[in-house]
Amino acid sequence: MSDSDTKSTCPDIHIGKHFINKLCQDKEYEETLKSYTSVAPVYDEYMASAEHIGAKLTAETLDNLGLDKESKIVDIGAGTGALGMLLRERGYKNIDAIDGSEAMLQVAETRNIYQNYTVAIIVKGKKLAVEDNVYDVAVLCAVFCPGNMGSDAFSEIIRIVKPGGIIIWAMRAPHLFADVSEHFRNGKFEADVEELVKKGKWRHFHMPKTIPYFHGNEGTIFTMQVI
């Protein structure tokens, strides 16, 4: 992403969509990370300009479950804290943030949303410095996409959530990435979700739900329960 992509402080909707598409290209997360470092200060404006409502819908989905407000929650790929802020507004206080981008988390830190801020990249074969079964809930918004997090992160997320705990994520509908990434082609992402259902690692607490996500793009919300 070039500097010119980050200069405007009042981006219009086309720039916002372009911005999101640039962050979702098929490459290693370490490459994408450089873009997050440069866009962190203006990230929220771009998401707003794209009319991205994923965080709002994720917070609503969690709240509708009626869980204890003291639940221990981890916001994975927390970024600048958009989802965490909405959860705080709804009375959840016990929230940790994990993100691979220090720059994004630094913005979140200025907002005093989370209890703990951990900079960590979640990739296949790398174990987070978090004990097993720590969290009641994991939430992720706009994290599963090419160049970011893939289905190979599922097992690590399941590991840190308690049996019976809930994992909710909102993402652009997986099939919309089929053209740009083999990891989302031919239903691979959804098949990887089902594979872990078959293996008894998690179950669908609610079936995947199609949602409006950001301007002109449908999204999907998954609500899984760890077994």
* 97 scored as a contact of ligand SAM (CB under 6 A): no
Indicate the pairing of strand 95-99 with strand 117-119: parallel
* 104 scored as a contact of ligand SAM (CB under 6 A): yes
The position carrying tokens 């949602």 is 211
Instruction: Tell me whether residue 24 or residue 224 sits nearer to ligand SAM (CB atom).
Output: 24
Indicate the pairing of strand 95-99 with strand 161-172: unpaired
Answer for the pair 223, 178: CB distance below 8 angstroms, yes or no. Answer: no
Radius of gyration of the chain (CA): 16
Q: Mark the segment that binds ligand SAM (CB under 6 A) among 5-13, 138-146, 194-202, 219-227.
A: 138-146
Map the footprint of ligand SAM across residues 179-198, applying CB under 6 A: none
* 174 scored as a contact of ligand SAM (CB under 6 A): no
Nearest to 182 by CA among 28, 26, 32: 26
Instruction: Tell me whether residue 129 or residue 200 sits nearer to ligand SAM (CB atom).
Output: 129
* 148 scored as a contact of ligand SAM (CB under 6 A): yes
Buried b (16+ CB within 10 A) or exposed e, 38-73: ebbebbbbbbebbebbbbebbbebbbeeeeeeebbb
Nearest to 122 by CA among 150, 145, 97: 150
Residue 89 CB, shortest distance to ligand SAM, in Å, is 15
Q: Mark the segment that binds ligand SAM (CB under 6 A) among 71-79, 175-183, 185-193, 197-205.
A: 71-79
Q: Mark the segment that binds ligand SAM (CB under 6 A) among 9-17, 100-108, 179-187, 191-199.
A: 100-108
Instruction: Tell me whether residue 23 or residue 62 sits nearer to ligand SAM (CB atom).
Output: 23
Distance between CA atoms of 81 and 154, rounded to whole angstroms?
21
Q: Mark the segment that binds ligand SAM (CB under 6 A) among 96-104, 127-135, 171-179, 196-204.
A: 96-104
The position carrying tokens 């289905």 is 151
Distance between CA atoms of 124 and 113, rounded to whole angstroms?
28
The contact set with ligand SAM (CB under 6 A) reads 23, 29, 36, 47, 54-55, 77-79, 82-83, 99-101, 104, 121-123, 141-143, 148-149
